[in-house]
Amino acid sequence: MTTGTAPSTTPADSPTARPPRAAWLPDALVVAGYLALAAVLTSRQWGHPQRLFHQAGDQVLFEWMLAHAAHAVVAGENPLFSAALNAPYGINLMANTSVLGLGVPLAPVTLLFGSQVAFCVAVVGCLAGTATAWYALLRRRLVSARSAAALGGLVCGFAPGMVAQAGAHLHVAAQFLLPAILALVFRAGTGRSAVWRPGVGLGLLLVWQVFIGEEVLVFLALAAGVFALGYALADRAAARRLAPALLGRLAVAAVVGAVLLAYPLWFQFHGPQHYTGMAFAAHGFQLDAASFTASARQTVLGDDWLPGLLSPNPTEENSFFGPGLLVLAVVVVVWLWRRPLVRALAGCGVVFALLSLGTDLRVDGSATGIPGPYRLVAGLPLLDLAVPARFALVCVPVLGVLVALFVDRVAGARRTAVPGLPVRLVWASAVAAALLPLTPTPIRVVPVPPVPAFVAEGRWRTLVPPGRTVVGLPPVTGAALSPVMLWSARAGLSFDAPGGYFIGPSGPDDPAARWGAPDRPTALLLRRVAETGLTPVLSAADRRQAVEDLRHWRAAVVVLGRLPNGDAVRRTVDDLIGAGRPVDGGWMWDVRPLVG
């Protein structure tokens, strides 16, 4: 299918000729529209440092990762490891979602404006960048009408699942490389020219994607494999003709990737603080079959009640496409069934929609007792660690491409009267009815206590010698919101601290994955106080344990910011290690005399 336009027959010097328009201007307007929409979706956080998106702990994690990347660039440190959290052990960042592929390019933004601005810029870039990348692929390869490519890109970048992920999981929302990767994998042509240079480019893109998010790359590989199989079954002659060059490109890309990723992958699986398995039961995160026709929270028709029944949490609303879009997709598939591309897309979408239902099928919030299709692959390597609910994200570009193909076909049709209305108007109304209910709303935010000025303004520096740490209260040992991790991110990783929100080994001799640092008695005690507000009766053994734990953490100062049960935490710490003193934004205990 050509992507060009027919040349004008009007002479350039004709008095009726229109003034020339820059060829790039319409494309620029489409991209500007994507950026404007992404900016609106993040608008509740711009200029509000005491707000985070609804999954606050995840935003803190990624703010810290962006701050780490900028710090590593400036300090020249190993970007795959950090000792700034989880003192005295540190964190294997290659084994966590470190998003270095985003953090390094955004380092100037982080250094100039801070981690919160960098995170919001990243969210805007992920959403608008993904939409733009699919728009470019559709415009160049699959459709002629710019409106078709623009709508297809809009679906791919701003579907409910993408918006839900963007407020928390940058590594999942950052899908702007996927269209370029697919364009190289399924590049037309044969011979050496279709192997070497495209293969090298493909290998470099794959390496970049690894440093953004390996999980999305696994989903991409699976989806591309299913799509390729479906296309080969639909058009065997084309598959036989193109397969040698495709396999050659993949081989070249594999060599490039193996060379560049050898050390990072070794570090991930064998470096310090590596772990085995997962810190949570991934199989438990599955979708309800009814979720595919429901409205997500972050849409104009959404609410909080129904999505809570149909998805594991607000960030995994990956399948909420609404009935209109699904009906439209069925119409498109039936209408364009003769096209191998459409048959392959339909098969791919159905496979991954079924896998997202998990190991046990649920319908409308109730268990059915019917085994889910995911059971067939749940034991396979890599898939045994996958979150089933995220398989539905593969359906997003499938639906986006189908919408683009449909709009392109309608735009190319002649205006035919049907009871007084042109066909294109009828079909345009159908597209609007399918897409308008999916209009996203600004991502919800929650308040967060401010970083204590004592920390933010660096007043701790005279009290914390090299090799010692700042202990934030409570010292989080699990997956809860970590105050000190937010302080560290907003302060540019200028101090080391224990605890944090990450995945690491359960202990020095136990590589099994767990959330956060290995438990320490004092950390557990203070966390219970922070959660319940109840001040415990302490013993001499509790006080000795507190000193021992402070020594383990290499503590110099202990800092308490604003907490819902902050008074109870302060009284408990006073009882454990002596009276603290108020500082701007909280309380501080100088524990150097205690720990030696």
Render pLDDT for 314-361 as a digit per residue (tens, 0 to 9). 999 999 999 999 999 999 999 999 999 999 999 999 999 999 999 999
Same domain, 401 and 461: no
Residue 15, in any domain of the structure: no
Residue 379, in any domain of the structure: yes
Same domain, 339 and 214: yes
Residue 4, in any domain of the structure: no
Q: What is the pLDDT of residue 12?
A: 40
Beta strands 360-363; 366-371: pairing state = antiparallel
What contacts 297, CB < 8 A, 6 or more positions away?
164, 303, 304, 307, 314, 317, 444
Same domain, 558 and 527: yes
In three state form, how does the secondary structure of 147-170 look? HHHHHHHHHHHHCHHHHHHHCCCH
Same domain, 214 and 329: yes
- For 194, the enclosing helix (H) or strand (E) is none
* Residue tagged 């994507």 (tokens): 34
Q: What is the pLDDT of residue 154?
A: 98
Q: What is the pLDDT of residue 11?
A: 40
Alpha-carbon distances, residue 519 vs 95, 167, 516, 526 (angstroms): 20, 29, 9, 12
Q: What is the pLDDT of residue 10?
A: 39
Residue 9, in any domain of the structure: no
- For 417, the enclosing helix (H) or strand (E) is strand 417-418
Do the beta carbons of residue 327 and residue 373 sit within 8 Å?
no
Same domain, 402 and 484: no
Residue type, 311: S
Q: What is the pLDDT of residue 4?
A: 41
Which runs of consecutive H residues, i.e. helices, occur in 337-394?
340-355
Helix 521-532, helix 540-552: angle, nearest 10: 110
Q: What is the pLDDT of residue 3?
A: 41
Cα 330 to Cα 406: distance, rounded to the nearest angstrom = 11
Q: What is the pLDDT of residue 21?
A: 63
Q: How many domains does the chain have?
A: 2
Same domain, 277 and 403: yes
Last residue of a domain, one of 403, 438, 473: 438
Same domain, 164 and 289: yes
Main-chain dihedrals φ then ψ at residue 560, nearest 5 degrees:
-120, 120
Q: What is the pLDDT of residue 7?
A: 39
Last residue of a domain, one of 395, 410, 438: 438
Residue 386, in any domain of the structure: yes
Last residue of a domain, one of 438, 465, 498: 438
Same domain, 321 and 457: no
Q: What is the pLDDT of residue 15?
A: 42
Cα 350 to Cα 345: distance, rounded to the nearest angstrom = 9
Q: For the chain, list residues with pLDDT below 50.
A: 1-17, 415-417
Same domain, 459 and 561: yes
Q: What is the pLDDT of residue 66?
A: 98
Same domain, 467 and 385: no
Q: Which domain holds residue 329?
A: 26-438
Q: What is the pLDDT of residue 20?
A: 57
Same domain, 460 and 433: no
Residue 120, in any domain of the structure: yes
Do the beta carbons of residue 443 and residue 41 sit within 8 Å?
yes
Q: What is the pLDDT of residue 417?
A: 46
Residue 513, in any domain of the structure: yes
Residue 19, in any domain of the structure: no
Q: What is the pLDDT of residue 303?
A: 83
Same domain, 434 and 463: no
Q: What is the pLDDT of residue 419?
A: 53
Do the beta carbons of residue 422 and residue 411 sit within 8 Å?
no
